[in-house]
Amino acid sequence: MAKKVRAVVTLQIPAGKANPAPPVGTALGPQGINIMEFCKAYNEQTKAMEGVIPARITVFEDRSFNFILKTPPASDLLRRAAGIPKGSAKNLTQRAGSITRAQLTEIAKIKLPDLNTDNLDDAMRIVEGSARSMGIEVN
């Protein structure tokens, strides 16, 4: 089929730390795109950021590509707001931590551009649902 887009992939990687090792190498290598160029551009654009910053990469038929940065995963924002270290979600049914309503609002505002809504209240409900599933309470 004639087309200009070859593949689309979102990489969730730590800001400023892209390197050719997996998952960047495994995700982009088979597409034949310039991995060093991606790493350089991603690290430059995310150098002042923290945590996981997803990049949505579009690979074109001629193996050129472009990418846009997306908002951090809600889980990452929630865990950081609640002060829960990465990898400590072993007891999902138990209370893992808590955040304030102001923190919830802040996270919902950050996530708004990537959610299927323009309404902040809806966004807060979505993020609160994610928090609940992670054992994080909103006080």
The residues that touch another protein, with contacts defined as CB under 8 A, are 1-5, 7-14, 20-29, 31-38, 41, 52, 54, 58, 60-67, 73-76, 86-87, 89-90, 92-93, 129-130, 133-134
CB of residue 29 to another protein, shortest distance in Å:
5
Nearer to another protein, 4 or 139 (CB): 4
Q: How far is the CB of 84 from another protein (least distance, A)?
A: 10
Distance CA 100, CA 110 (A): 16
Using a 10 angstrom Cβ sphere, with 0-12 exposed, 13-18 middle and 19 or more buried, the burial of residue 6 is middle
- Residue 40 beta carbon to another protein: minimum distance, rounded to whole angstroms: 10
Identify whether the C-beta of residue 137 lies closer than 8 Å to the C-beta of residue 131: yes
Closest residue by Cα to residue 130 from 114, 110, 107, 113 = 107
Q: In which residue are the tokens 């609002």 written?
A: 105
- Comparing CB distances to another protein, the nearer of 56 and 109 is 56
